[in-house]
Structure 1
């Protein structure tokens, strides 16, 4: 298949769980002022669509594509040019009979930018191993496999999947992995589910293409002074299909916003893709 994906210049795509777009509005604008990425994928926007603060971001030069709900969840994609073929929820590709209750929470949005399908996800946290929310998370990841399999068969077979996955794929992604098998976001079942999701489309971790060592995290718990002690987890990811993975030039975590006043507990993760 001919390379139709780029116009001869790098594309910067960022993912950031902002933990309320209204609370972090100025942080996002300040960050975009310094890092004018082509596409910014947000998670945990926590606002219904009609109350989303579009105007400041539109004035900054971005088109806002959103799917939100009150107080919880919510995803959005900001893009320099309008996205094409925006799809919201699993039901955009998966038979409604299979989605069941898994589309009630706003966690999935995708669109095509310069020929690249960008999928933005907010994977459920799971709460605790003995929680119904943990079982919900595993069901959600199972349906994500079906969704990505359908996407792989579509007209844009090369795509990027990013977002807050709420899973540390390996022990090197956790500041202290001792006891992780009993800790949400690092259990064997969650990791196996993620592995199966990635295998569906041969997706690969962009960050690990460039950085092998431990000590690099994207989330630090508010409650334990995690950031000041760098006791974090790498749970925010960019996964790329083979051609895009080959074209990836850089992937990095910007820790700076996590040190700002009243920050999100997550940091932006940015991938640069070129042809």
Structure 2
């Protein structure tokens, strides 16, 4: 199976910039999408032609929103609030129900459109799409401290949730894969200017320690890092400003984290950085892995 993740930074804008052309050419089987940033009534339904889209849009207008695109309807869907969410199929959008996951720490984020997981109908696999809060740089002051504390609370809850989802999937005979924008560069290899960003959100010591805590040979595996080895990048995000993209001054913050069995089945990985600035679909680029599953 070919599986990808893509923070689109607004589905309507990204469709204009070539989202469908890229993913039709990539011939993916599953796509995790983040930052849909669109209300249900404004969804461009033509953009999901040929896909079954399960969307957790949240209640914040113009912000967040995650989705999983599959070829067949999933057999189960879970969100942080366990209520209604949206599905696009056959050119129409409708509300469906979901089961609830997440504990006390994730409850304040339940309606923000940050997490959705589905059990595939055509493979023994559970797939989650995640958009993690950005947080704030150090030293924290005013609103920055609140953003920092919210992110750390989300991380505490997410660690428990990923463990529970992985173990529950395992009990059902399924592998587990969480993809998306984690807003954390785990290692020095994962951003170009790591020395100058040690007090920046996304590269704080406590964020990186958290990331290490969820990885392990028996828990979750960073699939792209396992395949690329100890090389710089490959980056998946570049600022729109300045010469970040042209100079490849980026961050690797978009991940495939897989259960060990699924990680071992990965046969190839690539980060689909556009060749030129004017061809960019988003400030993130797709990250794709082929799995022998």
TM-score relative to the length of structure 2: 0.84
Once the two structures are TM-superposed, the CA of residue 261 in structure 1 deviates from its matched residue by: 4.2
For residues 142 and 117 of structure 1, what CA distance do their matches in structure 2 show? 21
> Do residues 99 (structure 1) and 106 (structure 2) align?
yes
Unmatched tracts of structure 2, length 5 or more: 83-99
Number of residue pairs aligned between Structure 1 and Structure 2: 262
Once the two structures are TM-superposed, the CA of residue 146 in structure 1 deviates from its matched residue by: 1.6
Unmatched tracts of structure 1, length 5 or more: 1-10
For residues 163 and 81 of structure 2, what CA distance do their matches in structure 1 show? 12
Q: Specify whether residues 157 and 32 from structure 1 end up closer, same or farther in structure 2 by C-alpha distance, changes over 3 A only.
A: closer
Q: 1:64-105 deviations in whole A, cap 9, x for unaligned?
A: 11011421000011111222201122652234x453312131
State the partner residue of 1:21.
11
SS at match of 2:157: helix
TM-score relative to the length of structure 1: 0.89
Residue among 118, 130, 135 paired with 1:121: 130
State the partner residue of 2:55.
66
Q: Specify whether residues 258 and 104 from structure 1 end up closer, same or farther in structure 2 by C-alpha distance, changes over 3 A only.
A: farther
For residues 216 and 268 of structure 2, what CA distance do their matches in structure 1 show? 22
For residues 215 and 67 of structure 1, what CA distance do their matches in structure 2 show? 30
> Do residues 266 (structure 1) and 284 (structure 2) align?
yes
For residues 44 and 200 of structure 1, what CA distance do their matches in structure 2 show? 30
Higher mean alpha-carbon deviation, 149-158 vs 118-127, is at 149-158
Query: Contact 1:145–1:200 at 8 Å: present in 2 too?
Result: no
Once the two structures are TM-superposed, the CA of residue 183 in structure 1 deviates from its matched residue by: 1.3
Query: Contact 2:80–2:107 at 8 Å: present in 1 too?
Result: no
For the aligned residues, what is the CA RMSD?
1.9
Q: Specify whether residues 169 and 127 from structure 1 end up closer, same or farther in structure 2 by C-alpha distance, changes over 3 A only.
A: same
